[in-house]
Amino acid sequence: MELVCPAGNLQGLKTAIDSGADAVYFGFRDATNARHFAGLNFSTENAAEGIDYAHNRGKRVFLAINTYPQPHNWSAWQNAVDQAADLGVDVLIVADTGVLDYACERWPDLALHLSVQASATSAEAIAFYHERFGIRRAVLPRVLSLSQVQRVCADSPVEIEVFGFGSLCVMVEGRCLLSSHVTGKSPNSFGACSPGEFVRWTETPAGLESRLNGVLIDRYGPREHSGYPTICKGRYHVAGQTTYAMEQPVSLNSLPLLPELMRAGVAALKVEGRQRSPAYVRRVTRVLRSAIDACASDPKTFTPNDTWMSELAGLSEGSQTTLGAFSRYWQ
């Protein structure tokens, strides 16, 4: 099982490689990737240095071109594909069918993985992308149960990658309109959920408030953890209660399910978090590297140790972890 880790910048890339990642994924400094935040991502020069660093250590580099172009800016996505090919990346992670079509026609030898942003949740959908665009792997959205993942793996014509640790997405990924509704900038085309220019933090007599384009997302007490404000993870007054109406701030941790995922034939475990620090990447990568190696050597008796689970809980969103949709055993 390949361990695929995030690289928000050059230092993050090197940290992931040095900490045990088999592959890293990154994005350019524009709207072609879904983590288009100021201070993140790669210039052409940084990308070339990072690719050399990884390749010299026998590791692979994936480039995420995983947002959706519009007619007026289509050339930016074409240029991103061409730059990726010129740089010698190992894989393009793509969501949009037009970008997939351009990449497979213009650069037929460049490996393509289907992004989670494409929201392909069935073997039939994955088969379409394989037949039409020659994808070699599909990244599954974080809305499938373990039994559904097992079924997709059994019937898929290509490798399957799942998320192993990091923030969850309550929406069908690549289809969320919440941030677009509030800010006018869609994460699916602009490349960022809750763009930083719309985020405001204010100390008030009632507590620390976070707002997105003026909309109150949450209010925190003196000892409460305050996460980055996104619409889906805010607290709202609903039916007489102020509560997390859609989703709590919590991180996915799939370590307890590693043996089942391996038996299902999952080819790669992915860590979410290109917006996180290199220190975060180091700690998460080391834990997952140890866990995957231990499970591969003895899957029948594998159990995540308390140290791993405690380390990941301390790094999680909201300081808590969950199995997420994986845990719907009733299916």
Q: Is residue 141 part of a domain?
A: yes
* Cβ atoms 229, 199 nearer than 8 A: yes
Identify whether residues 291 and 212 lie together within a single domain.
no
Q: Is residue 185 part of a domain?
A: no
pLDDT for 33: 93
Show the domain range for 121: 2-168+250-327
Identify whether residues 94 and 22 lie together within a single domain.
yes
* 89 phi and psi angles, rounded to 5 deg: -65, 155
* Cβ atoms 226, 220 nearer than 8 A: yes
* Cβ atoms 139, 119 nearer than 8 A: no
Q: Which residues contact 176 (CB under 8 A, 6 or more apart)?
A: 169, 187, 188, 193, 232
Residue 1 and residue 270: Cα distance in Å, rounded?
10
Domain of 65, CATH number, reads 3.20.20.70
Identify whether residues 147 and 116 lie together within a single domain.
yes
DSSP state of 125: H
Q: Is residue 323 part of a domain?
A: yes
Task: Identify the segments of the chain with pLDDT beneath 70.
Answer: 170-172, 329-331
Closest Cα to residue 124, out of 291, 132, 289, 310?
Answer: 132
Residue where one domain finishes, among candidates 215, 244, 273: 244
Q: Is residue 157 part of a domain?
A: yes
Identify whether residues 18 and 33 lie together within a single domain.
yes
The SS3 call for residue 217 is strand
Residue 139 and residue 327: Cα distance in Å, rounded?
19
pLDDT tens string 79-138: 999 999 999 999 999 999 999 999 999 999 999 999 999 999 999 999 999 999 999 999
- DSSP codes joined into one string, 279-314: HHHHHHHHHHHHHHHHHHH-TTT----HHHHHHHHH
Question: What are the tokens at 245?
Answer: 């109406």
Q: Is residue 40 part of a domain?
A: yes
Max intra-chain CA distance, the chain:
60
Identify whether residues 33 and 91 lie together within a single domain.
yes
Identify whether residues 10 and 32 lie together within a single domain.
yes
Domain count, the chain: 2
- DSSP codes joined into one string, 56-79: TTT-EEEEEE-S---GGGHHHHHH
Question: For residue 242, how many C-alpha atoms fall within 13 Å in the half-sphere facing its CB?
Answer: 6
Q: Is residue 186 part of a domain?
A: no
* Cβ atoms 5, 39 nearer than 8 A: no
Residue 198 and residue 230: Cα distance in Å, rounded?
11
Q: Is residue 258 part of a domain?
A: yes
Residue where one domain finishes, among candidates 206, 224, 244: 244
Q: Is residue 182 part of a domain?
A: no
Residue where one domain finishes, among candidates 213, 244, 275: 244
Q: Are strands 159-167 and 268-271 parallel, antiparallel or unpaired?
A: parallel
Residue 8 and residue 281: Cα distance in Å, rounded?
10
CA distances from 80 to 84, 110, 237, 276, 305 (A): 6, 13, 43, 23, 42
Q: What radius of gyration, in Å, describes the C-alpha atoms of the chain? A: 19
Question: What are the tokens at 187?
Answer: 């994460």
Alpha carbon dihedral 220, 222, 227, 230, in 10-degree steps, equals 10
* Cβ atoms 218, 206 nearer than 8 A: no
Identify whether residues 239 and 268 lie together within a single domain.
no
Identify whether residues 197 and 257 lie together within a single domain.
no
pLDDT for 204: 94
